[in-house]
Chain A
Amino acid sequence: NAGVTQTPKFRILKIGQSMTLQCTQDMNHNYMYWYRQDPGMGLKLIYYSVGAGITDKGEVPNGYNVSRSTTEDFPLRLELAAPSQTSVYFCASEGEPSTDTQYFGPGTRLTVL
């Protein structure tokens, strides 16, 4: 049982490049989330999903896209990377929001130069 895994751990992008951050969970959780954390700050929700095929925007969705074709995977796509997207990205999952624990992945540290 690996929990929530994220790849890559680190990445440096040039301005205008694109990339996909991968997130996989093996707990059969319906709810999955993508957050970003800027230095010294709390997390900001980018997108979330309540099940396969269903996604919705969070607080800061601009510049990102997601898909949820399976229960296990919730990739985050960055199109046309900008320096403002330099951050640490965390993926999280949970079974039921009111009763279950939210589990976080180890994070992806992204730098856009």
Chain B
Amino acid sequence: ELKVEQNPLFLSMQEGKNYTIYCNYSTTSDRLYWYRQDPGKSLESLFVLLSNGAVKQEGRLMASLDTKARLSTLHITAAVHDLSATYFCALGKFYFGSGTKLNVKP
């Protein structure tokens, strides 16, 4: 059974701190996606990672992919309140993780 597992599921952090969200998956794939969803809103595409060692950065968010370990990470640098949202990883377009709900406290 294909699984995409994110951890932690909930993350409460202070502004200015760094943290990492992990996305483990159970089968090989050539594409790993990250999305953001604000409460009650639709999804916004953040990153697509296409190959082993791929790294993408946008502002305070950096995503990386290790296909050998079947692991992707989303690293948050010096968090700000505006980053509070739920973050999803997805394998291809088919299989989504359950999401990590991030709350950045001022």
Q: CB within 8 Å of B: which of A36-91?
A: 40-45, 48, 58-59, 90
Contact across chains for A43 and B88 when beta carbons are under 8 A apart:
yes
Which of chain A's residues have a CB closer than 8 A to the CB of B42? 90, 104-107
Instruction: Using C-beta atoms within 8 Å of the partner chain, give the interface range for chain A.
Output: 20 to 34
A53, chain B: closest CB distance, angstroms = 20
Contact string against B for A residues 85-106, beta-carbon threshold 8 Å, 1 for contact and 0 otherwise: 0000010100001100111111
Q: CB within 8 Å of A: which of B4-51?
A: 4, 31, 33, 41-45, 48, 50
One of B4, B93, B97 near A48 (C-beta < 8 A): B93
Contact across chains for B43 and A104 when beta carbons are under 8 A apart:
yes
Given contacts A42-B97, A43-B88, A44-B96, contact A98 B45 (CB under 8 A): no
Which of chain B's residues have a CB closer than 8 A to the CB of A106? 41-42
Interface residue tally for chain B (C-beta within 8 Å)? 19
Nearest residue in B to A107 (C-beta to C-beta)?
A: B42
One of B31, B44, B90 near A43 (C-beta < 8 A): B90
One of A40, A59, A98, A105 near B48 (C-beta < 8 A): A98
Given contacts A42-B88, A103-B45, contact A59 B94 (CB under 8 A): yes
Nearest residue in B to A106 (C-beta to C-beta)?
A: B42
Contact across chains for A43 and B96 when beta carbons are under 8 A apart:
yes
Q: Is the interface of A mostly helix, strand, loop or mixed?
A: loop
A51, chain B: closest CB distance, angstroms = 15
Contact across chains for B99 and A42 when beta carbons are under 8 A apart:
yes
In the complex, A14→B40 CA distance in Å? 24
Nearest residue in B to A4 (C-beta to C-beta)?
A: B42
B98 interface residue per 8 A CB criterion: yes
Contact across chains for B43 and A90 when beta carbons are under 8 A apart:
yes
In the complex, A83→B94 CA distance in Å? 23
User: Interface residues, chain A, CB within 8 Å of chain B?
Assistant: 33, 40-45, 48, 58-59, 90, 92, 97-98, 101-107
User: Interface residues, chain B, CB within 8 Å of chain A?
Assistant: 4, 31, 33, 41-45, 48, 50, 88, 90, 93-99
